[in-house]
Amino acid sequence: MYSSPSLNFFQSFVMGYLINLLRQVKNQVGNPQVNQEKKQLIPLLVITLVVTGIIGGIREFGWMQFFELAVWDSMVRLSPDRGEDERLLIVEINEQDIQTQKQWPLADETIAQVLTNLQQHNPNVIGLDLYRDVVHKPGHEALVTALAADNVIAIENLINGVPAPPAVPPDRIGFNDFVVDQDNVVRRNFMYTEIKDPAKIYYSFALRLTLAALDLGEEAVVADDIALQVNGQSLPILTPNAGSYHLDEGETVGWQILINYRSANHVAPVVSITDILNNRVNPALIEGKTIWWVPPPLVRKICSLPPTARPTVARFRCPG
């Protein structure tokens, strides 16, 4: 379970102070020479008990959530920037790309050609974070062929009921749903969920990419009541009252963890689809890499991220 450093420190301080007071009172019992001092300690003891109760009540009802999350965001912003991840390449669709193609959504043949050009340079895995449940002619047969490659991961959306491309098998499909806190900041990673009727397991898009990049199968993922195990690595899940949070049961559906943000500025190198279509990308940026093809800003959800979540900073359009 996650804990909040700010409130835990304060609670530890109060509890330590309370224990010291109790020890002093115990030591003074039966000593007539210090009766007056003992009487002076009793109000302090009562005040300490009241303060401790108030702090516990505040946390139990979630009244400190906003403050604690703000402290968490500050800690994230103060964390060292780890810079670009050289294992990853982001493929974007910008406004100029859409103007060049003269349509949105892009035609199936355009998607297929980008995938084909990427595959020429032997990427490790390609994550297609674009909805392709509907045919956009021309070129649908070419897209079906491109999606048949074993290293292509497609998306679905559980909340909105958007299915994955029919040609992609279940073991190469991940959901791109993400959870947003009440202040519109994304702090949690929704990684995995199960349903009982009918029995089915859903993996997030990020988790599918991770498994594919590490050449791991679904057997590498083990879920229990306290953690999600991925290749032996334990990821403690968030519970409704974990750390800074006071959430409803429905808000912690599935297996969620806190996001460990890498960088506020440049997560990975970025190239456009026009660059790929015109073969203007250095093959070294593609070979052996994990490719994340993100949707254009016009279809992204507006949200904020802890590394930049300040009232004076404009919100971002988050992929997903």
Q: Over the stretch 223-270, which tens digit does the pLDDT of each residue have?
A: 998 999 999 999 999 888 776 677 777 788 899 998 888 887 789 999
Whether 12 has a pLDDT exceeding 70, the answer reads no
State the pairing for strand pair 316-318/301-303: antiparallel
Interatomic CA distance for residues 44 and 38, integer angstroms: 10
Give a yes or no: residue 70 inside a domain. no
Q: What's the confidence (pLDDT) of residue 78? A: 86
- Least confident segment among 1-10, 22-31, 109-118, 125-134: 1-10
Q: Are residues 89 and 146 in the same domain?
A: yes
The DSSP letter of residue 170 is: G
Q: Are residues 151 and 299 in the same domain?
A: yes
Distances (CA, A) of 27 to 35, 53, 263: 11, 25, 54
Give a yes or no: residue 210 inside a domain. yes
Q: Residue 9 has which token pair?
A: 């420190």
Q: Which residues, other chains included, contact 33 with Cβ-Cβ below 8 Å and sequence gap of 6+?
A: none
Strand residue runs (E) in 143-243: 152-156, 173-175, 188-196, 199-203, 221-223, 227-230, 233-236
Q: What's the confidence (pLDDT) of residue 56? A: 60
Closest CA to 245 of 75, 9, 71: 71
Q: What's the confidence (pLDDT) of residue 247? A: 79
Residue where the block lists tokens 């009802």 = 61
Q: Are residues 30 and 171 in the same domain?
A: no
Q: Are residues 36 and 128 in the same domain?
A: no
Distances (CA, A) of 134 to 5, 105, 113: 47, 10, 18
Phi first, then psi: give them for residue 157, nearest 5 degrees.
Answer: -130, 120
Structural domains counted in the chain: 2
Strand residue runs (E) in 62-102: 88-92
Chain-centroid distance of CA 91 in Å reads 20
Give a yes or no: residue 69 inside a domain. no
Looking at this protein, which amino acid is placed at residue 226? I
At residue 10 the predicted structure's pLDDT band, cuts being 50, 70 and 90, is very low
Q: Are residues 144 and 186 in the same domain?
A: yes
Interior/surface letters 268-305, b for 16+ CB within 10 angstroms, e for the rest: bbbbbbbbbbeeebeeebbeebbbbbbbbeeeeeebbb
- Least confident segment among 2-16, 184-198, 246-260, 296-310: 2-16
Q: Are residues 286 and 205 in the same domain?
A: yes
Give a yes or no: residue 300 inside a domain. yes
Q: Are residues 111 and 49 in the same domain?
A: no
Distances (CA, A) of 266 to 82, 175, 263: 9, 24, 6
**Domain with 217 in it:** 83-318
Distances (CA, A) of 299 to 90, 112, 162, 273: 17, 20, 14, 16
- Least confident segment among 127-141, 179-193, 207-221: 179-193
Q: What's the confidence (pLDDT) of residue 88? A: 97
Q: Are residues 51 and 98 in the same domain?
A: no
pTM (2 decimals)?
0.78
Interatomic CA distance for residues 77 and 99, integer angstroms: 36
- Least confident segment among 15-24, 172-181, 195-204: 15-24
Interatomic CA distance for residues 113 and 295, integer angstroms: 16
Q: What's the confidence (pLDDT) of residue 57? A: 55
Region 205-214 average pLDDT: 97
Phi first, then psi: give them for residue 150, nearest 5 degrees.
Answer: -65, -20
Q: What's the confidence (pLDDT) of residue 317? A: 46
Q: What's the confidence (pLDDT) of residue 7? A: 45
Whether 173 has a pLDDT exceeding 90, the answer reads yes
Give a yes or no: residue 72 inside a domain. no
Give a yes or no: residue 73 inside a domain. no
Q: Over the stretch 60-118, which tens digit does the pLDDT of each residue have?
A: 555 567 777 888 888 888 888 888 999 999 999 999 999 999 999 999 999 999 999 99
Average pLDDT, the chain: 82
Give a yes or no: residue 269 inside a domain. yes
Q: What's the confidence (pLDDT) of residue 29? A: 52
Q: How many CB atoms lie within 10 A of CB 266?
A: 13
Q: What's the confidence (pLDDT) of residue 312? A: 36
Q: Are residues 120 and 151 in the same domain?
A: yes
